Amino acid sequence: MTNSDSPTTNILVVGIGGQGVMTAAEILAEAALSIGLDVKKTEVAGMSQRGGVVTSHLRMGARVLSPQIAPGQADLLLGFEPAEAMRWSHYLRPRGAVVVNTLRLTPPVVTLGLYDYPEDPVAVIRSKGMRVRDFDAGAVARKLGDLRLVNSVMLGAVADALPFPAEALKSCLLSRFASKGESILDLNRQAFAAGRQLAAQEH
Amino acid sequence: MPALVPAAASQRLFYSGNEAVARAVWEAGTKVAAAYPGTPATEIQEELARYPDLYTEWSVNEKVSLEVAVGASMAGARSFCAMKHVGMNVASDALMTLTITGTMGGLVIAIADDVGLSSSQNEQDSRFWGRFAHIPLLEPADSQEAYDMAKAAFALSEQYETPVILRLTTRVCHVKGRVQVGEREVHAPTGFKKDPAHWVMVPAFARARLPRLFERERALLEYAQNGEWNRLETGTDRRLGFIASGPAYMHVREAFPEAPVLKLGLSYPVPVALARQLADLVDKVLVVEETEPLVETELRAAGLTVHGKDVLPRTGELPPEVLRPAVARLLGGAAVEADPAPPPKVFPRPPTLCAACPHMGIYYTLSQLKNLIITGDIGCYTLGAGHPWNALDSCISMGASMGMALGLDKARGDADQGKRILAVIGDSTFMHMGMQGLLNITYNRGNVTVLLLDNRAVGMTGGQDNPGSGRDIHGEPAPRVDFAKLVEALGVRKERIRVVNPYELPTLFKTIREEIKADEPSVIISDQPCVLIGDYKKLRPLAVLEDQCTGCGNCVEVGCPAILVTRRDRVVKASGKEVDLAFVRIETAACTGCDMCMKTCAPEAIVPAESAAGIGVISVKRS
């Protein structure tokens, strides 16, 4: 995953306000910190709570200077919404990795007929030569019994595409639910495993 | 907000710049901290409020917050205030004389600039205040520096008896990085000492103190030159040397690891001698500053040949992808890396009002009325300028809706005689800077209908409390302002003060229609809470009976993000007129049952989700 000529791994997490983008980025950052990497994380989310775009830039390595990922420099894009993943896909390196939740969220400007939703955003990203894993994380979460598990599914799906072991991410994720009781902890463990499995499948 | 048990000293924590500043302010032994919320600075005060052993408050505006801090400093206590860039415009009246009185207890002002304009009405550069007020200005580049500088700023303030500005930008405030923290110091207030010549700035006393301003500035220049905050990194590639401060320094280091860099941490007074040293070392000098050419102009005035905004953009951030091509052009001939692929074309996703937002009823109603001029103000309700309402005609500065409405009223010519003038302002903005404008309307016999949208929170910045919410910064009960009494005291006749529930669309419509016809000032107060705060209570969600929906699209005009169009059609009516149809569904999981859309639905196709499920028309299983 990590680009060999770059000492820094760049991860872009995108979605819209309220989807858990910032939490996912936070857990990824904690995991990288836990194995001793330097990390910087930045987002512009001033008005994102009102249904706007949220992007979180996550850079990890021996020493990170600028917090921002430049276009064409992201190693991995974690997209919580397909049109948002498409919007930021030019930030990816050639053959970059993409994990995307296929659940579409239609904004009012599309509802009002002012703009069209792209016909197949995932296909657009794929056509650029990116390595895409796409699935309905919501369906997986619902099957496990709680829509709030989407975040854990998504994190599971990127767990084997990181510059550190999947277990580091898993333990950071699960520590968030440590106080919530064994059943919630177990649900998140299952969601994480389901995400990992989905990402491992051929597409 | 839960109280915080401060992390032990010498731990390395993963902090945003805002969290780092809060920690440093607490560690510095600060006694009083005051602020008004504003992106990207808001979280500094939110975080500080969770620390023990200091007084924190949400002030009604930035000027008041600074004056509270000045009073605390006068008592010999360390004090702090935080604001966004435009907040300092409001506070500057106090600042420009505070610089003459100087400080007793250390006083630090954090000002956060919204470089790149993610959530503001302008992109002004707060570094000008350093020069304007002749006071030192520190510019951290990341969280660790934000912590180091914020803590050191108090001692600097006390040593030079000056307020100190800590200038942050979004890429410091909202960037997380590792921060090594320390112990809390104890600084007991030294006590108030009666000294009119120091604190009563009548001309005679102020005049006597003015020369000290410039003596202090000379001493600070010495410190900028020789102190710890400005350093020359000599580098190996001597073709081009950089002068950079704040996050721009990190961008320069990232893009040009071999270049000599003069890293400015204390950027006012500008250490010209250090810049000369850099210039002597390299062929060319490039000043990289966000956003105004402030240091560049100063160096040019001192006779140095430097580049800056002649090759770099005048606005926005200066990340590596902006710097690299500009530098390649400046050095001439060097190959620029191939442009990355252009951004894909995707619909915009502008921020919008939340499902069930009480402002939506107001804007839906305003969008149905004609011949209005509507001045707007700053807050979530500025979004009323967007689709589908298009119901705001201005947004300038905090409270401007009031003065502008009166100006429009007094200036109206023949073309605008039939138009009604309205001003829309939120509760917090009204208390911040709108009350004076309303008094000005009543005093000067203007005719403006004011819509005071009281949602009991500072909504846009995350629902902070204010005097209208009845809670203090800790969420504890506090005296709650009575807006009806307040506007009556400001001169609005009791008959012209109306309180409405914005979800009651017919009543709201009737009330606005009545008040805009009145030939005197009136105030309509909307009294329902922001849907993102605890006061808001969700109701049962709604759903659309698919076979009942006629596609009229009335509900779509409410502008609720939970209403989605499933199918469009165009029909020709018997009259020969073409009509566009939009058939809808409701995202039940997002709907909180405010019922506004239901009131616009003639065929009664919008019903509570449970009953819709009962009929079996639509599945509304909630996860």
Choose, out of A23, A50, A106, the residue to mutate when testing the contact with B (most B CBs < 10 Å): A50
Contact between chains at B340 and A110 (C-beta distance less than 8 A): no
Using a pLDDT cut of 70, give the percent of chain B over it: 97
Out of A44, A64, A106, name the one closest to residue B174 (CB). A44
Give residues with Cβ within 8 angstroms of A4, minimum separation 6.
none
How many A-B residue pairs are in contact by the CB < 8 A criterion? 159
Contact between chains at A66 and B388 (C-beta distance less than 8 A): no
The domains found in chain B, sorted by start residue, are 12-226 (3.40.50.970), 232-331 (3.40.50.920), 358-526 (3.40.50.970), 542-615 (3.30.70)
Contact between chains at A90 and B118 (C-beta distance less than 8 A): no
| Residue numbers in A near B342 (CB within 8 A) | 90
Contact between chains at A30 and B559 (C-beta distance less than 8 A): no
Single-letter residue type at A161: A
Contact between chains at A33 and B14 (C-beta distance less than 8 A): yes
| Residue numbers in B near A51 (CB within 8 A) | 349, 351-352, 354, 561
Q: How confident is the model at residue A45 (pLDDT cuts 50, 70, 90)?
A: low
Q: How far apart are CA B59 and CA B431, in angstroms?
A: 10
Q: How far apart are CA B448 and CA B373, in angstroms?
A: 10
Name which of B425, B443, B543 is nearest B490 in CA terms.
B443
Q: How far apart are CA B367 and CA B608, in angstroms?
A: 26
From B381's Cα to the closest Cα of chain A, the distance in A is 11
The domains found in chain A, sorted by start residue, are 9-105+120-197 (3.40.920.10)
Number of C-beta neighbours around residue B443 at 10 A: 12
Choose, out of B337, B349, B544, the residue to mutate when testing the contact with A (most A CBs < 10 Å): B349
Q: How far apart are CA B256 and CA B240, in angstroms?
A: 10
Give residues with Cβ within 8 angstroms of B489, minimum separation 6.
none
pLDDT of residue A3: 41
| Residue numbers in B near A72 (CB within 8 A) | 340-341
| Residue numbers in B near A108 (CB within 8 A) | 352, 387-388, 559, 561
pLDDT of residue A133: 95
Contact between chains at A109 and B387 (C-beta distance less than 8 A): yes
Contact between chains at A16 and B14 (C-beta distance less than 8 A): no
Q: How confident is the model at residue A87 (pLDDT cuts 50, 70, 90)?
A: very high
Q: What is the mean pLDDT of residues B327-331?
A: 95
Q: For residues B135 and B341, which has the higher predicted lDDT (pLDDT)?
A: B135
Q: How confident is the model at residue A51 (pLDDT cuts 50, 70, 90)?
A: confident
Name which of B273, B309, B271, B303 is nearest B290 in CA terms.
B309
CB B112 within 8 A of CB B83: yes
Contact between chains at A40 and B175 (C-beta distance less than 8 A): yes
| Residue numbers in A near B532 (CB within 8 A) | 49
Q: How far apart are CA B326 and CA B307, in angstroms?
A: 11
pLDDT of residue B549: 96
Choose, out of B143, B251, B346, B363, the residue to mutate when testing the contact with A (most A CBs < 10 Å): B346
Number of C-beta neighbours around residue B419 at 10 A: 15
Please name the residues between 135 and 174 in chain A that touch chain B, using a CB distance below 8 Å. Answer: 141-142, 146-147
| H or E element, residue B498 | strand B497-500
Residue of chain A whose Cα is closest to the Cα of B566: A111
Task: Kindly provide the b/e burial profile for residues B385-414, where b requires at least 16 CB atoms within 10 angstroms of the residue's own CB.
Answer: bbbbbebbbbbebbbbbbbbbbebbeeeee
**Radius of gyration for chain A, computed over Cα atoms and rounded to the nearest angstrom:** 16
| Residue numbers in A near B255 (CB within 8 A) | 66
Name which of A110, A53, A39, A52 is nearest A86 in CA terms.
A53
Q: How confident is the model at residue A6 (pLDDT cuts 50, 70, 90)?
A: low
CB B175 within 8 A of CB A39: no
Provide the 3-class DSSP secondary structure of residue A63. Answer: coil
Q: How far apart are CA A16 and CA A19, in angstroms?
A: 6
Q: How far apart are CA B375 and CA B372, in angstroms?
A: 10
Residue of chain B whose Cα is closest to the Cα of A25: B176
Report CA torsion sign: B2, B8, B13, B17: positive
Q: In the block, which residue shows the tokens 């902090």?
A: B15
| Residue numbers in A near B561 (CB within 8 A) | 51, 107-108, 111
Q: In the block, which residue shows the tokens 């951030």?
A: B317
Provide the 3-class DSSP secondary structure of residue B362. Answer: helix
Contact between chains at B118 and A44 (C-beta distance less than 8 A): yes
Task: Kindly provide the b/e burial profile for residues B9-26, where b requires at least 16 CB atoms within 10 angstroms of the residue's own CB.
Answer: eeeebbbbbbbbbbbbbb
pLDDT exceeds 70 at position A1: no
Out of A107, A112, A121, name the one closest to residue B349 (CB). A107
Using a pLDDT cut of 90, give the percent of chain B over it: 90
- The string of DSSP codes covering A129-184 is T-EEEEE-HHHHHHHHT-GGGHHHHHHHHHGGGSSS-HHHHHHHHHHTTGGG-HHH
What are the tens digits of pLDDT across the range B537-564? 999 999 999 999 999 999 999 999 999 9
Q: How far apart are CA B310 and CA B599, in angstroms?
A: 58
Out of B120, B317, B340, name the one closest to residue A71 (CB). B340
Name which of A187, A14, A3, A194 is nearest A91 in CA terms.
A14
Which spans in chain A are helix H? 21-34, 82-87, 108-111, 121-127, 137-144, 150-158, 166-175, 182-200
From B43's Cα to the closest Cα of chain A, the distance in A is 12
Contact between chains at A67 and B460 (C-beta distance less than 8 A): no
Out of A90, A110, A117, name the one closest to residue B342 (CB). A90
Is residue A41 less than 8 Å (CB to CB) from chain B?
yes
Beta bridge partners of B244: B263, B288
| Residue numbers in A near B344 (CB within 8 A) | 86-87, 89-90, 124
Q: In the block, which residue shows the tokens 């930035």?
A: B62
Q: How far apart are CA B389 and CA B360, in angstroms?
A: 9
Q: What is the mean pLDDT of residues B374-390?
A: 95
CB B361 within 8 A of CB B508: yes
Q: What is the mean pLDDT of residues B269-277?
A: 98
Is residue A117 less than 8 Å (CB to CB) from chain B?
yes
Q: How far apart are CA B267 and CA B141, in angstroms?
A: 12
Beta bridge partners of B32: B55, B79
What are the tens digits of pLDDT across the range B161-187? 999 999 999 999 999 999 999 999 999
pLDDT exceeds 50 at position B297: yes
| Residue numbers in A near B250 (CB within 8 A) | 65-67
pLDDT of residue B118: 85
Number of C-beta neighbours around residue B594 at 10 A: 26
pLDDT exceeds 60 at position B617: no
Which spans in B161-264 are helix H? 170-173, 196-199, 203-226, 247-255
Choose, out of A27, A30, A55, A66, the residue to mutate when testing the contact with B (most B CBs < 10 Å): A66
- The string of DSSP codes covering B48-62 is HTTSSSSEEEE-SSH
pLDDT exceeds 80 at position A143: yes
Out of A29, A50, A70, name the one closest to residue B352 (CB). A50
| Residue numbers in B near A115 (CB within 8 A) | 347-348
pLDDT of residue B224: 98
- Helix pair A150-158, A182-200: axis angle to 10 deg: 40
Contact between chains at B177 and A45 (C-beta distance less than 8 A): no
Q: How confident is the model at residue B339 (pLDDT cuts 50, 70, 90)?
A: low
**Radius of gyration for chain B, computed over Cα atoms and rounded to the nearest angstrom:** 28
Report CA torsion sign: B60, B64, B70, B75: negative
Please name the residues between 183 and 202 in chain A that touch chain B, using a CB distance below 8 Å. Answer: none
Question: What is the token pair recorded at B13?
Answer: 């924590």
- Helix pair A166-175, A182-200: axis angle to 10 deg: 150
What are the tens digits of pLDDT across the range B569-592? 999 988 999 999 999 999 988 899
- Helix pair A182-200, A137-144: axis angle to 10 deg: 140
Provide the 3-class DSSP secondary structure of residue B441. Answer: helix
What are the tens digits of pLDDT across the range B446-477? 999 999 999 999 998 989 999 999 999 999 99
The ipTM is: 0.93
Single-letter residue type at A170: K
Q: What is the Cβ-side half-sphere exposure of residue B213, based on CA atoms within 13 angstroms?
A: 19
pLDDT exceeds 80 at position A5: no
Average pLDDT, chain A: 91
From A39's Cα to the closest Cα of chain B, the distance in A is 6
At residue B56, φ and ψ (nearest 5 deg) are -125, 150
Q: What is the mean pLDDT of residues B88-102?
A: 98
Q: In the block, which residue shows the tokens 């990085």?
A: B177
Q: What is the mean pLDDT of residues A14-39?
A: 92
CB B530 within 8 A of CB B457: yes
Is residue A52 less than 8 Å (CB to CB) from chain B?
yes
Report CA torsion sign: A102, A105, A110, A115: negative
Out of A65, A70, A147, name the one closest to residue B623 (CB). A147
Q: How far apart are CA B26 and CA B579, in angstroms?
A: 63
Q: How far apart are CA B474 and CA B458, in angstroms?
A: 15
Is residue A97 less than 8 Å (CB to CB) from chain B?
no
Burial class (CB in 10 A: 0-12, 13-18, 19+), B439: middle
What are the tens digits of pLDDT across the range B55-77? 999 999 999 999 999 999 999 99
pLDDT of residue A203: 53
Single-letter residue type at A164: F
pTM to 2 decimal places: 0.95
Contact between chains at A86 and B346 (C-beta distance less than 8 A): yes
Give residues with Cβ within 8 angstroms of B159, minimum separation 6.
none
Q: How far apart are CA B462 and CA B478, in angstroms?
A: 19
Q: How confident is the model at residue A49 (pLDDT cuts 50, 70, 90)?
A: low
Contact between chains at B175 and A51 (C-beta distance less than 8 A): no
